[in-house]
Amino acid sequence: MSAGRICSRVVVTARPNETVREAARRMAENDVGSLVVVAVDGVTRAVGIITDRDIAIRCVAGNRHPDETLVSEVMSAPVQSVDQDTPIEDALSHMASVATRRLVVTGAGKEAVGILSVDDILGLLIGETSEIGRLLHKQAPHIG
């Protein structure tokens, strides 16, 4: 199975030159915990990612004002990404090697087409193991 098949195709973006408060509002409006930071030239090419944790730790806990701090100052960069055709096992290995819980999933021209999170992978595994459990239960000998 590929990263593009199980990733969230909801890609909410931010610009590096907007304020953290603007980014936080967009997170709230779209009910997401991260925004893909895209190049200012209008292309959906990821240059970073900003998470609710980045805002809490790097901005608020760092005594920075969200109306004066730019996304570029607290985002994680360079962005970690995988192509949408990357096998899940390879994507998970990449997550582990760079110690991140989210990857930007890219398509043609490195355009951001989704976000793959550890939660997406866990959801897939839980679904598969529950199917195996149902099969084993059906095949279990019935003792009388």
Q: Name the residue with higher pLDDT: 42 or 106.
A: 106
4-27: pLDDT as tens digits: 999 999 899 999 999 999 999 999
37-87: pLDDT as tens digits: 998 775 678 999 999 999 999 999 999 999 999 999 999 999 999 999 999
At residue 125 the predicted structure's pLDDT band, cuts being 50, 70 and 90, is confident
Superfamily of domain 3-139: CBS-domain (3.10.580.10)
The beta strand positions in 16-136, using DSSP E, are 34-38, 46-51, 81-83, 102-106, 112-117
Q: Domain segments of the chain: what residues?
A: 3-139
